[in-house]
Chain A
Amino acid sequence: MRNIVKHDGTIVVDAWQVLEHPAEGDSLALPEGPCLVPAELWLAGREHFVGNEQVGLWLDSHEEPELIADHIHQLPLIAVNFPKFSDGRGYSSARLLRERFGYRGELRAIGDVLLDQLQFMKRCGFDSYALRPDKDISKAPRCLNFFSNAYQAATDNDEPLFRRRGEFPVAATA
């Protein structure tokens, strides 16, 4: 069980476990309770997993969301891994899952998830965040909401600011 930050800043305890790739030659052992399996293993065992609300998958940062595009409606939860917080591929993966493939279920950021990236993650469509345990989770709500507005469209807002500005202010030409 661990604390998970939700996109609205609430903190919940949940039981989803992230399963690592099994060692060479070993098979994947499903634990009790809900779990996230590596995407390629989920795909390999898809017939077995489909319909199981206790089994979701996680994509690593180099894995293309296109891999699972045809199956996203069969998944109770998808996670995207940030092996290092400075690896920004997961932001594109999230937007594609949401905006291109229409995934509406829970999308979780896992791995090196820190406070100062939470709002970017939220904007790209992540709605839950497994904050790295050494970070102060009480600061997450503030860090999710540093900005009250945004210039560009993203998953959270399909109206870029240029579509929301008022009439041209005459005084501005002075």
Chain B
Amino acid sequence: MYVYDEHDRQLLAERVAQFRDQTDRALAGELSEDEFLPLRLQNGLYVQRLAPMLRICVPYGMMRSGQLRRLARITRDYDKGYAHFTTRQNVQLNWPALEDVPDILAELAEVEMHANQTSGNCIRNTTTDQFAGVQADEITDPRPYCEIIRQWSTYHPEFAFLPRKFKVAVNASEHSDRAAIQIHDIGLQMVRNEAGELGFRVHVGGGLGRTPMVGPVIRDFIPEHDLLTYLEAILRVYNRYGRRDNKYKARIKILVKALTPEGFAERVEAEWAHIKDSPTHLTRDAIDRMKGFFTEPAYKALQDNPPALATPRSESKAFDNWIRRNVNSHKQPGYAIVTLTMKKTGTPPGNVTDRQLEQIADVADQYSFGEVRVTHEQNVVLADVRQDQLFELWQAIRPMGFATANLNTLTDIICCPGGDYCALANAKSIPVAESIQRRFDDLDFLYDLGNIDLNISGCMNACGHHHVGHIGVLGVDKKGEEYYQISLGGASQHDAAIGKILGPSFARDDMPQVIEKIINVYVDNRTEEEEFLDTYRRIGIAPFKERVYA
């Protein structure tokens, strides 16, 4: 994992001092609300429905146990003792006081954390696959490139006032895309060309929100050394030509669509031709140096499926279920990837208490080299767990509430904070998630249903990624009443697609029953090997419509 040197520490300390100065001037009335707005947003601070909200950056989702403990302390000292894992692999505090924020940022800086560019019309936190570096089917570890992008984009002087926010995601797995790169402003898929050289396939102009789009490819291969100059060319074209007259048409996807992907690519290529040999061209040393931070931990020589795993699996169905659902295979023999689910029914998805943050830190120290990853599905991953310690770990995390064996099932719901917290929301999302979790509380039935992504957003801004849920739920406002619109057939991986709207929206109380009807159409129509999405793609939306609106 990346470790700061004196340059990083100094830059961050200067940023904290700058924001303290800005906050003082805002409180003294020297900055208008409008003038302070982008400054506080670029330091993660929103003003929400009930209180400010601070979005803390977790670069590409990686955290050390010491950072988790510091977060726990901050939630206790400055907030109400809990935090929220977001769909951008970040952490949010819901109740900080504006005047405390400079102190919170100073406390974060002590453990190499910050809230830089977690909001505002700038380049946001770069995200990646939560299994980066530990899965077998990976071109190479994408995290060094994520950190290279993070540093380049941090306090970038040219791109701090873009037309709109800008999100970059990197994926390196050939067969899966847990980073959902095609719904990002820039999606980078790591590839090797015919000569075996490393590089990226570049998607531009994906995104959710009001105009959901899957990002088209504008270049099949950009060599790794050209990563930053190419990004700079894309951003410059966007900064100069993206629309600024209408915030709903200001994302890069609108520009790409207006120019066509080919036309946009031509502009980028023309810009890039000027700057590709500039000093921003990455050196071999710079890439290798960064890779040096993401080396393997001290793995022991172990065998797969040891007796300490096989025996308890044969004796406990609950443990076996958890292994099947929440544990993934690892590239290193004898190790496994464990997902701690933050989706216990009755708890808002992604919410954790200060005590739970410390418990996660403790199990990370004990079982996974002291590191964790936050996922965009709002769970937490222990990436390097010994298989012969899985049973012990499972016993440890059950009382903590992290062992609900529902990963990737219908109740592993992605859900934004919604109208309970967020000023933008049209409707509450958390109670909908909970009512669906309560309706589908039979684990065996959930396993029988297989992988289903159910994503809920409380408004069009789509923080809950509803467009790309196999089942998507969107909160809408109908004459002051909260209603929910359903879409089907969305997908976020390599087969990314935007879901189709089923029809008129529903009242909140009807939602569990409506979801049940949708599930029943799947159960009645599926063939033995089909997952929900396969059945939907085969039979189309009509049978679902008929049943739900019968």
A88 adjacent to B14 (CB under 8 Å):
no
Return chain A residues, CB-CB under 8 Å to B228.
152, 160
Interface presence of B329 (CB below 8 A): no
Interface presence of B148 (CB below 8 A): yes
- In the assembled complex, the Cα of A162 lies from the Cα of B278 at a distance in Å of 13
Return chain A residues, CB-CB under 8 Å to B282.
162
**Closest A residue by C-beta to B36:** A116
Chain A, residues 123-148, CB within 8 Å of chain B (1/0): the string is 11000000000011000001000111
**Closest A residue by C-beta to B30:** A136
Interface SS of chain A = loop
- In the assembled complex, the Cα of A68 lies from the Cα of B483 at a distance in Å of 54
A89 adjacent to B239 (CB under 8 Å):
yes
Question: How far apart are B461's CB and chain A's nearest CB, in angstroms?
Answer: 19
- In the assembled complex, the Cα of A148 lies from the Cα of B10 at a distance in Å of 8
Assuming the A-B contacts A116-B22, A148-B10, A173-B295, are A160 and B158 also in contact, with contact meaning beta carbons closer than 8 angstroms in the complex? no
Partner of A91 from the list B11, B18, B21, B161 (CB cut-off 8 Å) is B161
Interface presence of A39 (CB below 8 A): no
Return chain A residues, CB-CB under 8 Å to B157.
91, 119-121, 123-124, 150, 152, 154
Task: Give the number of chain A interface residues (Cβ < 8 Å).
Answer: 42
Partner of B11 from the list A92, A124, A149 (CB cut-off 8 Å) is A149
Scan residues 74-119 of chain A and give those whose CB is less than 8 A from a CB of chain B: 85-89, 91-92, 95, 100, 114, 116-117, 119
Return chain A residues, CB-CB under 8 Å to B367.
none
Assuming the A-B contacts A146-B18, A169-B5, are A88 and B10 also in contact, with contact meaning beta carbons closer than 8 angstroms in the complex? no
Interface presence of B289 (CB below 8 A): yes
Question: How far apart are A112's CB and chain B's nearest CB, in angstroms?
Answer: 9
Interface presence of B151 (CB below 8 A): yes
Return chain A residues, CB-CB under 8 Å to B39.
116
Return chain A residues, CB-CB under 8 Å to B160.
88, 91, 117, 120
Partner of A159 from the list B15, B38, B279, B292 (CB cut-off 8 Å) is B279
Return chain B residues, CB-CB under 8 Å to A117.
160-161
B292 adjacent to A160 (CB under 8 Å):
no
Interface presence of A153 (CB below 8 A): yes
Interface presence of A69 (CB below 8 A): no
A151 adjacent to B155 (CB under 8 Å):
yes
Interface presence of A158 (CB below 8 A): yes
Partner of B5 from the list A95, A120, A154, A165 (CB cut-off 8 Å) is A165
Interface presence of B546 (CB below 8 A): no
Question: How far apart are B148's CB and chain A's nearest CB, in angstroms?
Answer: 7
Interface presence of B280 (CB below 8 A): yes
**Closest B residue by C-beta to A83:** B244
Interface presence of B159 (CB below 8 A): yes
Return chain B residues, CB-CB under 8 Å to A136.
30
- In the assembled complex, the Cα of A114 lies from the Cα of B155 at a distance in Å of 17
A158 adjacent to B10 (CB under 8 Å):
no
Chain B, residues 327-368, CB within 8 Å of chain A (1/0): the string is 000000000000000000000000000000000000000000
B22 adjacent to A88 (CB under 8 Å):
no
Return chain B residues, CB-CB under 8 Å to A12.
none
Interface presence of B248 (CB below 8 A): no
- In the assembled complex, the Cα of A72 lies from the Cα of B341 at a distance in Å of 60
Question: How far apart are B228's CB and chain A's nearest CB, in angstroms?
Answer: 8
Question: How far apart are A140's CB and chain B's nearest CB, in angstroms?
Answer: 13
Return chain A residues, CB-CB under 8 Å to B278.
153, 158
Interface presence of B240 (CB below 8 A): yes
A147 adjacent to B161 (CB under 8 Å):
no
A161 adjacent to B7 (CB under 8 Å):
yes
Scan residues 202-246 of chain B and give those whose CB is less than 8 A from a CB of chain A: 228, 236, 239-240, 244
Query: Which 9 pairs from chain A and chain B are nearest by CB?
Result: A88-B161, A123-B157, A162-B286, A120-B157, A146-B18, A172-B3, A151-B151, A91-B158, A168-B292
List 16 additional contacts besides A85-B35, A160-B228; criterion CB under 8 Å. Answer: A88-B158, A88-B161, A89-B239, A91-B157, A91-B161, A92-B239, A114-B35, A117-B161, A119-B157, A146-B21, A150-B155, A152-B151, A162-B151, A162-B283, A165-B5, A168-B288
Report 21 cross-chain contacts, Cβ distance below 8 Å, ordered by A residue.
A88-B163, A89-B239, A91-B157, A91-B159, A92-B240, A116-B22, A120-B158, A121-B157, A123-B157, A142-B21, A147-B11, A147-B14, A148-B10, A152-B152, A152-B153, A152-B157, A160-B280, A161-B151, A172-B3, A172-B293, A173-B293
